[in-house]
Structure 1
Amino acid sequence: MAKITAAEVNKLRKTTGAGMMDCKKALVEAEGDFDKAIEILRKKGQKVAAKRADRDSSEGAAIAKVNSDSNEGVIISLNCETDFVAKNDTFVTLANELADLALGFENKDAFLAADFKGMTVQEKLTEQTGVIGEKIEIGGFEKLSAPFVGSYIHAGNKIAVLTGLSANVDGAETAAKDVAMQAAAMNPVALNEEGVDQTVIDKEIEIAKDQLRQEGKPEEMLDNIAKGKLKRFFKDNTLINQAFIKDSKLSVSQYLKSVDSNLEVIGFKRVALG
């Protein structure tokens, strides 16, 4: 039987993130072969992943990253099963490292197949499922490009937002973050009226009509009153029309005009856990 040193165990632990005892057992089983020990730990992760495939992974960390030119951003959520794991520093560090990598990819599938420290991202997730003992996966993956992209991550990494502005002007960084905070807090359904899905509009009109009927309003008045309620829905639920959370006298659109007369928000992405 090969003699396993503490230095070898520690090296495997740093490489894989697995616990000391798991690393020692893997090295013993591999008779000191480092690469074989890594493979043993990966296979353990695959077994745990298979057992936990149907588990709910609604906890985790949502991370937003913006490139050095501030014209492209990404959000990923690294999902797990419990809040205890989600708050672990090692887990959050991994989420940030993966988000940095995700900046270079246009979709989730390409990202999962990308190299991460000698293995694919998907293999790393499987490995960490074995290490942590919980289902670990990438939940959200959102990209955004614009002349200026800003970001905001809500405390606890539960919500991450990207906002795209029409120009990189003085004050764009603060404005983009303010609008991202708005989207995090108020959860708009769309950027503007045109972005609201027709099924949502139809549903809101029907809800309004049902409420009006219960109030005893005449049937011939329902369409006009419901349209008025729909305007209120747009005001409350589309980003550019919402009351700005830092100054309710302004809409988000008006706030941006106060930064620069031509400035507009042209897109946003929001990922929330739970």
Structure 2
Amino acid sequence: MAEITAALVKELREKSDAGMMDCKKALQETNGDVEAAMDWLRTKGLSKAAKKSDRAAAEGLVAGLISGDGKTGVLIELNAETDFVAKNDKFQQAARDIAKVALDVDGVEAISAAKLGSGDSVQDMVTNLIATIGENMRLRRSARLTVGEGAVALYLHNAQGEGVGRLGVLVALEGAGDQAKLKDVGRKIAMHVAGTPTPPLALTSDELDPAVVAKEREIQTQTAMESGKPREIAEKMVEGRIRKWQEEVVLLKQPFVMNPDQTIEQLIAETAKEAGGPVAVKAFVRFALGEGVDKGPAGPDLATEVAQMAGRA
């Protein structure tokens, strides 16, 4: 059996926040293997991380990062139990570190398993944070956009620190023209996605979720029928209403918040002329903290703040 030194016990205690004798017992049971001992403690329910794993984690931070060449951007959402933790330096740094990993590794499972410079995995880092800070945490989701030619722009709203906020948007613009111009326009579109009163559901009408369209169609049909119209006539009336709804929820059709007389589609056409070549929005991603976990708005007066920023742009 491997010698269970005081240094090994200390290392395990710092990682798990379990009691000294529990750490010694875990190391004895696992022949001095610290990682296996961590698993042993979690199995026995002796690690603080394990005890907190079933508690709701819907606060935290959205972190974003753009690669050095400007062609790849990532967003990640790291959750905790309270908004107080979002102000913790270690938690903020962990979110930034995860975003950095996400530049090269795509998907929550792959990111969680990826190694950091310390040799620990991202999941190890999160587990250690749980023990240190005392709240349940989880890497909830990630997104990665990349372009061959063009630029990926990032906008973080309600910033809590460098590279972290409560709402993040990525916009990928493809084009071979002026890259600085593309980056600037991309960021303005990202601000639009963050601040528009009706967040876009898709880039184009064709990309809308068929189930969402079907649900909206049924709602509009029922509304028309309640006015006394036969279903056949109501369905014809609905077509116009569906087109109007699509203009409200499709990014390219939305009025640009910084210039409501211009749609995003028209802004892109104008940008293409100024950039001296074709420009297209390849994709966008919007992460609002706690979205879908019974949370409130990502931040106060978001549309107003974006409009104010537009005036300073």
Return the TM-score normalized by structure 2: 0.74
**What are the equivalent positions in structure 2 for 1:232-247 lying under 5 Å apart?**
232-247=244-259
Distance 2:268 2:219 in 1: 33
- 1:119-151 superposed Cα distances (whole Å, 9 cap, x missing partner): 111011000000010011111111111232111
In the other structure, the counterpart of 1:18 is none
Determine what percentage of the aligned residue pairs are the same residue: 30
Quote how far apart the aligned CAs of 1:30 are: 6.8
Quote how far apart the aligned CAs of 1:220 are: 2.7
**What are the equivalent positions in structure 2 for 1:255-274 lying under 5 Å apart?**
255-261=267-273, 262-274=278-290
User: Are 2:194 and 1:221 aligned?
Assistant: no
TM-align CA RMSD: 1.8
Quote how far apart the aligned CAs of 1:107 are: 2.1
- Extract unaligned runs of 5+ from structure 2: 19-41, 160-164, 291-313
**What are the equivalent positions in structure 2 for 1:155-234 lying under 5 Å apart?**
155-156=158-159, 157-170=165-178, 171-186=181-196, 187-234=199-246
2:157 corresponds to which of 151, 154, 177: 154
Greater CA deviation, 44-53 or 223-232? 44-53
Distance 2:125 2:231 in 1: 60
Distance 2:92 2:242 in 1: 41
User: Are 2:24 and 1:51 aligned?
Assistant: no
Quote how far apart the aligned CAs of 1:109 are: 1.7
User: Are 2:78 and 1:78 aligned?
Assistant: yes
Distance 2:113 2:231 in 1: 57
**SS of structure 2 residue aligned to 1:142:** strand
- Extract unaligned runs of 5+ from structure 1: 1-28
Quote how far apart the aligned CAs of 1:97 are: 2.1
Distance 1:219 1:112 in 2: 51
Return the TM-score normalized by structure 1: 0.84
- Equivalent pair of 2:146/2:172 in contact (CA under 8 Å): yes
User: Are 2:102 and 1:105 aligned?
Assistant: no
Distance 1:88 1:168 in 2: 41
- Where relative contact order (Cα < 8 A, 6+ residues apart) is larger, the structure is 1
In the other structure, the counterpart of 2:162 is none
- 1:231-273 superposed Cα distances (whole Å, 9 cap, x missing partner): 1111111111111111111111111212224322111112221
In the other structure, the counterpart of 1:9 is none
**SS of structure 1 residue aligned to 2:131:** helix
In the other structure, the counterpart of 1:8 is none
Distance 2:130 2:154 in 1: 29
Q: 1:181/1:168 Cα in 2 relative to 1: closer, same or farther (>3 Å)?
A: farther
What residue identity is the alignment partner of 2:286? R
Quote how far apart the aligned CAs of 1:101 are: 2.1
What residue identity is the alignment partner of 1:242? Q
**SS of structure 2 residue aligned to 1:42:** helix
**SS of structure 1 residue aligned to 2:175:** coil
In the other structure, the counterpart of 1:124 is 125
- 1:166-196 superposed Cα distances (whole Å, 9 cap, x missing partner): 2153311111111111222232111110111
